Chains A and B, each alone.
Chain A
Amino acid sequence: MIPTANESGAGPVGAVLVVGGGIAGIQASLDLSAAGYKVYLLEKTSALGGHMAMLDKTFPTNDCAMCTMSPRLVAVAGDRNIETITQADLVRLQGAAGRLTATVRVRPRFVDPQKCTGCGDCAQACPVELDNEFNQNLDRRKAIHRRYPQAVPSSFVIERSDRPRCMRTCPLGTNPQGYLALVRQRRFHEALRTLRDSNPLPAVCARVCHHPCENACARAAFDAPVSVRAVKRFLTDYCAAHPPGPELAARLAEADKRAGHGHAKPTGKRVAIVGSGPAGLTAADGLARRGHQAVIFEALPVAGGMLRVGIPDFRLPPSVLDADIDAICRLGVEIRCNRRLGRDFTLEGLRRQGFDAVLVAIGAHRGRRLGIPGEETRQVRDGLSFLRNTAGGETPRVGQRVVVVGGGNAAVDVARVARRLGGKLVTILYRRSEAEMPAIREEVDQARAEGVRLEVLAAPLRVVTQDGLVVGLQCVRMALGDPDESGRRRPVPVPGSEFLLDADTVITAIGQESDLGGLGGEIATARDRCAVDERTLACSTPGVFAAGDVATGPDTVTGAMASGRRAAVSIDNYLAGRPLDESQPDPPPAKLPPVRRQDLRPPRAATPRQEEPQLPADWRVAGFQEVALSMEEAVAVAEAERCLDCGVCSDCRQCERVCQAGAIRFDDRVEDREIEIGGVVLADGYAPYDARRRGEFGYTRYPNVVTSLTLERLLSASGPTFGRIVRPSDGKEVRRIAFIQCVGSRDSSDRGHPYCSSICCMQTAKAAMIAMEHTKGLSATVFMIDVRAHGKGYETYYQRAERLGVRYLRSMPSAIRQDFKTHDLQIEYAGPDGTKQVETFDLVVLSVGVECTAQSAQLAAAAGVERDEYGFIRTQPENPVATSREGVLVCGTACGPKDIPDCVAEGSAAAASLARDLAPARFTRVTVPEYPAERDVSAEPPRVGVFVCHCGNNISGVVNVEELVSFAKGLPRVVHAERNLYTCSPEGLAAMRRAIDTQKLNRVVVASCTPRTHTAVFQDVLAQAGLNKYLLEMANIRDQCSWVHPDRPVEATRKALELLAAAVAKAQHLRPLREGTQAVVHAALVVGGGLAGMVAATTLASQGFEVHLVEQTDSLGGQMRHIRRTLDGLDVQALREHLVRQTETSPLIIQHLRSTVTRNRGSVGNFESEITADDGSRATVRHGVTIVAAGANMYTPTEYGHGTSSRVITQREFERRLGAFPFVPVDGVVMIQCVGCRNAERPYCSRVCCAEAVKNALEIKAKRPGCRVVILYKDVRTFGRLEKYYRQAREAGVVFIRYDDAHPPQVSPDGVVRAMDPALGRELTWRADVVVLSAATVGRPEHRALAEVLRVPMTSDGFFLEAHAKLRPVDFACEGVFLAGTAHSPKLIPETIAQALAAAGRAATILCQDILRAGGAVSVVNRDRCAACLTCVRLCPYGVPRIEKGAAAIEPTACQGCGLCAAECPAGAITLECFTDQQMQAAVGGLFLETVPQAEEAPEA
Chain B
Amino acid sequence: MTAKGLRLFPGCAADGAGAEYGRSTVAVLDALGVAVRVLADWNCCGATGARHEDRELAVRLSARNLALAAGEGCDLLVNCAACYNNLAWSRQYLAEHPQTWPAPPGAARPEAATVLHLLAVLTGEPMLERLAKKIARPLAGMRLACYYGCLLVRPGGYTHVDDAENPRRLDDLLRLCGADTVDWSFKTDCCGGSASMTDNPVAVELMARLFDSCLQQDVTALVTACPLCHVNLDAWQEKVGALLGREVSLPIYYFTELVALAMDLPGVDKWLSGHLTDARLTPRKCR
Contact = CB atoms under 8 A, between A and B. Distances in A.
B183 interface: yes
Nearest to B216: A821
A815 B165 CA distance: 9
A817 B185 contact: yes
A816 B165 CA distance: 11
Interface string B143-172: 000000000000000000001111000000
Interface stretch (A490-498, A695-703, A1446-1454, A1478-1486): A695-703
B216 A701 contact: no
B40 interface: no
A695 B217 contact: no
- Name the residue in A695, A698, A818 with the highest tally of chain B Cβ atoms < 10 Å from its Cβ: A695
Given A817-B186, A820-B184, A696 B165 contact: yes
A820 B186 contact: no
A773 to B, nearest CB: 32
Interface string B175-204: 000000011111000000000000000000
B184 A695 contact: no
Contacts, number: 26
B234 to A, nearest CB: 24
Contact of A820 (B163, B164, B216): B216
A818 B216 contact: no
Contacts of B213: 817
Contact of B166 (A695, A819, A821, A826): A695
Contacts of A696: 165
A826 B183 CA distance: 15
B163 A819 contact: no
A696 B164 CA distance: 9
Interface residues of B, number: 12
A472 to B, nearest CB: 36
Given A695-B165, A696-B165, A701 B186 contact: no
A841 to B, nearest CB: 14
Given A820-B182, A820-B184, A701 B217 contact: no
Contacts of B183: 701, 820
Contacts of A815: 185
Interface string A952-964: 0000000000000
A819 B216 CA distance: 9
A1098 to B, nearest CB: 53
Interface in A826-854: 826
Contacts of B185: 698, 815-818, 820, 826
B184 A701 contact: no
Nearest to A818: B185
A267 to B, nearest CB: 57
Contacts of B182: 820
B164 A695 contact: yes
Contact of B217 (A698, A816, A821): A821
Residue from B164, B165, B183, B217 having most chain A Cβ neighbours under 10 A: B165
Contact of B163 (A695, A817, A821, A826): A695
Contacts of B164: 695
Contacts of B217: 820-821
Interface string B59-82: 000000000000000000000000
B239 to A, nearest CB: 21
A418 to B, nearest CB: 34
A341 to B, nearest CB: 53
Interface in A779-822: 815-821
Nearest to B183: A820
B213 to A, nearest CB: 8
Contacts of B216: 819-821
Nearest to A825: B185
Nearest to B182: A820
Nearest to A694: B165
Nearest to A701: B166
A818 B184 CA distance: 7
A675 B166 CA distance: 49
Contacts of A826: 185
A835 to B, nearest CB: 15
A826 B216 CA distance: 15
A701 B213 CA distance: 16
Contacts of B166: 695, 698, 701
A1313 to B, nearest CB: 40
Contacts of A816: 185
Nearest to A822: B216
Contacts of A817: 185-186, 213
Contacts of A818: 185
Interface string B205-232: 0000000010011000000000000000
A1428 to B, nearest CB: 71
A661 B243 CA distance: 72
A241 to B, nearest CB: 40
Nearest to B167: A695
A164 to B, nearest CB: 26
Contacts of B165: 695-696, 698
A460 B3 CA distance: 45
Interface in A137-181: none
Contacts of A820: 182-185, 216-217
Q: Most B CB atoms within 10 A — which of A696, A820, A821, A826?
A: A820
A826 B212 CA distance: 14
B121 to A, nearest CB: 22
Nearest to B186: A817
A818 B185 CA distance: 6
B224 to A, nearest CB: 20
Contacts of A695: 163-166
A1199 to B, nearest CB: 47
Nearest to A702: B185
Contacts of A819: 216
Interface in A437-465: none
Interface in A191-206: none
A603 B66 CA distance: 45
B236 to A, nearest CB: 22
B217 to A, nearest CB: 5
Interface string A38-50: 0000000000000
B153 to A, nearest CB: 11
A826 B163 CA distance: 21
A659 B219 CA distance: 54
A701 B184 CA distance: 10
Nearest to B157: A750
A627 B206 CA distance: 60
Contacts of A821: 216-217
Nearest to A750: B157
A1405 B113 CA distance: 70
A161 to B, nearest CB: 26
A826 B184 CA distance: 13
A697 to B, nearest CB: 8
B59 to A, nearest CB: 24
A1004 B141 CA distance: 75
A819 B184 CA distance: 8
A729 to B, nearest CB: 13
Nearest to A826: B185
A816 B185 CA distance: 8
B79 to A, nearest CB: 25
A695 to B, nearest CB: 3
B182 to A, nearest CB: 7
17 contacts: A695-B163, A695-B164, A695-B165, A696-B165, A698-B165, A701-B166, A701-B183, A815-B185, A816-B185, A817-B185, A817-B186, A817-B213, A818-B185, A819-B216, A820-B184, A820-B185, A821-B217
Given A701-B166, A821-B217, 14 more contacts: A695-B165, A695-B166, A698-B165, A698-B166, A698-B185, A701-B183, A815-B185, A816-B185, A817-B185, A817-B213, A820-B182, A820-B184, A821-B216, A826-B185
Closest 3 CB pairs of A and B: A695-B165, A817-B185, A696-B165
Interface of B: 163-166, 182-186, 213, 216-217
Interface of A: 695-696, 698, 701, 815-821, 826
